Amino acid sequence: MTAPSEPARNEDGIATTVAILRQRLGERLQSGRSIREQHGHTTTWLPNQMPDAVAFPDSADEVADIVRACADHRVPVIAFGTGTSLEGQVNAPSGGISIDLSRMNRVLDVHAADLDCTVQPGVTRKQLNDHLRDTGLFFPIDPGADASLGGMAATRASGTNAVRYGTMKDNVLALEAVMADGTRIRTGTRARKSSAGYDLTRLFVGSEGTLGIITELTLKLQGIPEAMSSARCSFPSVGAACDAVIAAIQSSLPMARIELLDALQVRAVNAYSKLALPETPLLLLEFHGTEASVAEQAALFGEIAAEAGGTGFEWTTRPEDRTRLWQARHDAYWAALQLRPGARGISTDVCVPISRLADCVTAARARIDALGLIAPMVGHVGDGNFHVLPLIDMDNPAEIAKAEDFVGWLNELALSMGGTCTGEHGIGQGKRPYLRAELGPAVGVMARIKAALDPDGILNPGKIFT
């Protein structure tokens, strides 16, 4: 895929800023090619666009100092968490400074009675839950990768638990951010609701580092349920599986997770995770509550699934069985790559209203087959979101063209159904062409907000907007 055109590099400003930061940070400013490639790396087919140097701050004060140096010389600055974003969000199309926040990885406070905590942006999802284990609390947002919480907020991450616990936008109470001029602001408090002015927290959640750099987060927590049950059920088609999901949601069945794997993805998971699941479309589910309620919920779903043509329904509360099943789901990406060794996995996602989910997934599978692509599908189907992973030979231009055709077609299909071009991957560079088709004149309003908060355009340039 050809990289989109980007602003020219500010060579003199970059050289001056790198010299200033090297003097201030010493060895915590790195400019070797390998580390720059790592921080320009994307998991998409977009070309790697390296920064000129990578800074490793220890504090919010240092982040502010770095941003001020970049602002003084109009040098781009790109925040970096763990690099798991999927639409080129960490690329540096005009060079500049990548701010790696991994050293800012402290859990600052846990307020168990209030079900909240405050963390630095480099804390990862797993790290936080390990820290919380003895408190009886957990943080529910699970995008699969062990992403940093700052990055998850910046990209408005979602995941397997979203159907019950929502996404990052629902679970960030407040944050601290460094603005384009180096000013530090706080967007809210630990209170569960507020009517005080504009909701700046929601403005920053999902802004992909284009409005400010997140340096602290206050997050909602949940109590670990008394009991959990996991279930699986096979279906004759993806349409039938989606029909079961729709029926369960319309029945107000309180599912914590509900995931779809198509037949090709099940085949990949069987081979990779040494399972023996029927190689037909599969739903994985999880229920949270009391021992009695999770048993009742599982049984009710079994009845709904049978009416939709589901077979082989099984459920379990054994932790080892649940862990094995969900680990197989989290390993789906790596499992899919084994379907075609040497190919590049190009992950894309869309989200549609629940009532259109079956139509959208069925049409996507038909289009994939018509184009002759190898492309397994998985989805957080409880909220209408699903992912497709075309496996592409990047040395084959005709194959790349087919994949580009499919991605464009899928985005347009989702929009035609009242959906969105991205349920959780974000816009970055890869989805920019579809944002205006989705939001129309609202993109101009977004651009004016960006210009007001970042008049020199130094914060993660080339993302969301051209």
The CATH number covering residue 198 comes to: 3.30.465.10
- The pLDDT tens digits of the residues spanning 266-311 come to 999 999 999 999 999 999 999 999 999 999 999 999 999 999 999 9
Which residues span the domain enclosing 391? 226-425
376 DSSP 8-state letter: -
pLDDT of residue 330: 83
Is 18 part of any domain?
no
Instruction: Examine the domain organization and report whether 303 and 271 are in the same domain.
Output: yes
pLDDT over threshold 80, residue 42: no
Give 2 or 322, the one with higher predicted confidence: 322
**Band of the pLDDT at 17, cuts 50, 70, 90?**
very high
Phi, psi of 252 (to 5 degrees): 60, 30
pLDDT of residue 215: 98
Instruction: Examine the domain organization and report whether 279 and 394 are in the same domain.
Output: yes
Alpha-carbon gap, residue 220 to 87, rounded angstroms: 27
Is 308 part of any domain?
yes
Instruction: Examine the domain organization and report whether 266 and 405 are in the same domain.
Output: yes
pTM of the shown model: 0.93
148 DSSP 8-state letter: B
Alpha-carbon gap, residue 297 to 70, rounded angstroms: 54
Is 161 part of any domain?
yes
Secondary structure (H, E, C), 260-314: EECHHHHHHHHHHHCCCCCCCCEEEEEEEECHHHHHHHHHHHHHHHHHCCCEEEE
Last residue of some domain: 193, 223, 253?
A: 223
**Band of the pLDDT at 1, cuts 50, 70, 90?**
low
Instruction: Examine the domain organization and report whether 311 and 200 are in the same domain.
Output: no
Phi, psi of 350 (to 5 degrees): -140, 170
Is 90 part of any domain?
no
Last residue of some domain: 161, 192, 223?
A: 223
pLDDT over threshold 80, residue 142: yes
% pLDDT > 90, the chain: 84
% pLDDT > 70, the chain: 98
Instruction: Examine the domain organization and report whether 188 and 329 are in the same domain.
Output: no
